[in-house]
Amino acid sequence: MTSQPTTKTTGNDRGGPGEPGGPGGSGGAHDSGLQAGLKNRHLSMIAIGGVIGAGLFVGSSSGIATAGPGILLSYALVGTLVVLVMRMLGEMSAANPTSGSFSAHADRALGSWAGFSIGWLYWFFWVVVLAVEATAGAVILEGWIPAVPQWGWALIVMLVLTATNLVSVGSYGEFEFWFAGIKVVAIAAFIVIGGLAVFGLLPGVDSEQAGLSNLTAHGGFLPHGAGAILTGVLLVVFSFMGSEIATLAAGESENPQQAVTKATNSIIWRVAVFYLGSILVVVSLLPWDSKSITDDGSYVAALDSLGIPHAGQIMNFIVLTSVLSCLNSGLYTASRMAFSLGQRGDAPKGFARTTGRGVPRTAILVSVLFGFVAVFFNYKFPDSVFLFLVNSSGAVALFVWLVICFSQLRMRKIIQAEAPEKLVVKMWLYPYLTWATAALIVFILGYMLTDTEHDGRTTILLSLLVAAVVLVIAFVKEKTRGKRRAAEAAQARDEVPAG
């Protein structure tokens, strides 16, 4: 495996069916300089764990306080949206698995400006997430071992996971397998134990407090009205970011098409069990307006209500595992997106170089460098520069999902025309459900503009500002590239000898 990338395809030089850039090509590790180092068990756990972010454990309490038991409808609405978007992405990625995933698909379907823009926005989102998660993990670790300062723990965590990603993609997969496995086992155990308590089958639990009656007994299922469902959507939508990681990782597996298909088909039960199932247990074990949910966090409060000792420390361990998992995957995802951008000529060529182990070292180091810069801003300027970074990247998830919708509308026609046998995963009710999904995303973005209580308006405006800047750069770059190619073509014509 050479350390140099193979010939890349750009927005104006796309491959046909059977080529890396085309819908019929594998587009996977063997075509790019990356290595197929991820095993089936790695991909299975990445697919399962990718949908479980630390935001589920940390952020759900504010959603419950806002919408009451109706937060279940908020999670169901966003979960349905994620399932539909993942179905579209699965259709495109099964036909052409690639480390660039939706950015590479947008490049081919909509134009290089789209692939450039959404790729860099997505990279920006994840390098900011690195800082957020590193700080969150450092807070927990400092509480356990205060001799090491918080910034020291953030540095240690970032360095360890950077080293892991630099070794090989297999080491990333192995770490993620165990991180995600702990999350999955913890939530599964929580649902089983909590479910037994809800139905009065767990000894030692206050039966008057736990029960399905909590869903309606305290002001009704929608104590703050139906409008609170949409507000709840704004609070929970960002905890779903990461579902798409499996489609990026599939490009470094032995059978990427099978991996993408499996991840796409399992998204429904993953969302249903881990999100809806666990939140249903929380709001059934405790009244939604219980003070402990707000003070201690929803899952800690639920564990306390079961009489489980050291509930707070147990949850801290699970949250720390989720944080490390998010950091690990975030660094992997940001580096692979940077690698793909480098391959397509949308980033410095060095980003597309790989080591003998198939690791895009430069892309990893640059990504983690910006992560360290963001961590510095978090400690030095938390209420100014870092707050701007967080808010300006906050709506990127919705931008990505919207681009996936429009890419799939175009890519379906391309695949059908050039390599129909590659349509092993198909979007349901195409194109009507795709348009409906896009409309729902636009509606959520519009609704964010009305949200001043939870900073929704600030987030969307700053995110749009950053997106506009990236789009301007993309169009300027495209225009410059077009002029350069025109000049090269003219020069070539002039050099052709007469007669």
User: Which tokens hold the place of 442?
Assistant: 């636009």
Question: What separation in angstroms does the CA of 298 have from each of 25, 57, 58, 132, 345?
Answer: 46, 7, 8, 21, 46
pLDDT at 491: 78
Q: Which helix (H) or strand (E) holds 66?
A: helix 54-67
pLDDT in tens, 99-132: 888 999 999 999 999 999 999 999 999 999 888 8
Residue 208 pLDDT class (50, 70, 90 cuts):
low
Which residue bears the tokens 């209500």?
305
Q: How far apart, in whole angstroms, are the C-alpha atoms of residue 116 and residue 340?
A: 10
In b/e form, how buried is each residue of 382-420, taking b as 16+ CB within 10 angstroms?
A: eeeebbbbbbbbbbbbbbbbbbbbbbbbbbbebbeebbe
The radius of gyration of the chain from alpha carbons, rounded to an integer in Å, stands at: 23
pLDDT in tens, 337-386: 999 999 999 999 999 999 988 899 999 999 999 989 998 998 888 888 88
Low-confidence winner among 181-190, 341-350, 478-487 (lowest mean pLDDT):
478-487
Residue 207 pLDDT class (50, 70, 90 cuts):
low
pLDDT at 472: 95
pTM of the model: 0.87
Q: For the residues of 412-467, what is the DSSP string, one character each? A: HHHHHHH-GGG--S--TTTTHHHHHHHHHHHHHHHHHTT--TTSHHHHHHHHHHHH
Mean pLDDT of 388-411: 92
User: Which tokens hold the place of 110?
Assistant: 């909509």
Residue 17 pLDDT class (50, 70, 90 cuts):
very low
Q: How far apart, in whole angstroms, are the C-alpha atoms of residue 345 and residue 305?
A: 55
Using CB atoms within 10 Å of the CB of residue 333, give its burial: 0 to 12 exposed, 13 to 18 middle, 19+ buried.
buried
Contact, 420 vs 22, CB < 8 A?
no
pLDDT at 252: 84
% of residues, the chain, pLDDT over 90: 44
Which residue bears the tokens 């690195």?
130
The residue type found at 371 is: G
Which of 228-242, 296-310, 431-445 shows the highest mean pLDDT?
A: 431-445
pLDDT in tens, 80-95: 999 999 999 999 999 9
Cα of 466 vs its chain's centroid, Å = 19
Mean pLDDT of 290-301: 88
Virtual CA dihedral for 190, 194, 195, 199, nearest 10 degrees? Answer: 170
SS (H, E, C) 242-310: CCCHHHHHHHHECCHHHHHHHHHHCHHHHHHHHHHHHHHHHHHHCCCCCHHHHHHCHHHHHHHHCCCCC
Mean pLDDT of 222-229: 90
Q: How far apart, in whole angstroms, are the C-alpha atoms of residue 2 and residue 249?
A: 20
% of residues, the chain, pLDDT over 70: 91
pLDDT over 60 at 20, yes or no:
no
Mean pLDDT of 148-174: 91
User: Which tokens hold the place of 62?
Assistant: 């504010």
pLDDT at 498: 55
Contact, 172 vs 165, CB < 8 A?
yes
User: Which tokens hold the place of 450?
Assistant: 């009305």
pLDDT at 244: 85
Low-confidence winner among 25-29, 144-148, 399-403 (lowest mean pLDDT):
25-29
Q: How many C-beta atoms lie closer than 10 Å to residue 473's C-beta?
A: 14
Phi and psi for 374 in degrees, rounded to 5? -65, -40
Which has more confidence, 442 or 486?
442
Residue 496 pLDDT class (50, 70, 90 cuts):
low
Low-confidence winner among 140-149, 197-206, 361-370 (lowest mean pLDDT):
197-206
pLDDT at 439: 97
Residue 311 pLDDT class (50, 70, 90 cuts):
confident
Please give the DSSP secondary-structure letter assigned to residue 381. S
Q: Chain-wide mean pLDDT for the chain? A: 85
pLDDT over 60 at 5, yes or no:
no
Residue 2 pLDDT class (50, 70, 90 cuts):
very low
pLDDT at 326: 87
pLDDT at 335: 93
Contact, 126 vs 161, CB < 8 A?
no
pLDDT over 80 at 31, yes or no:
no
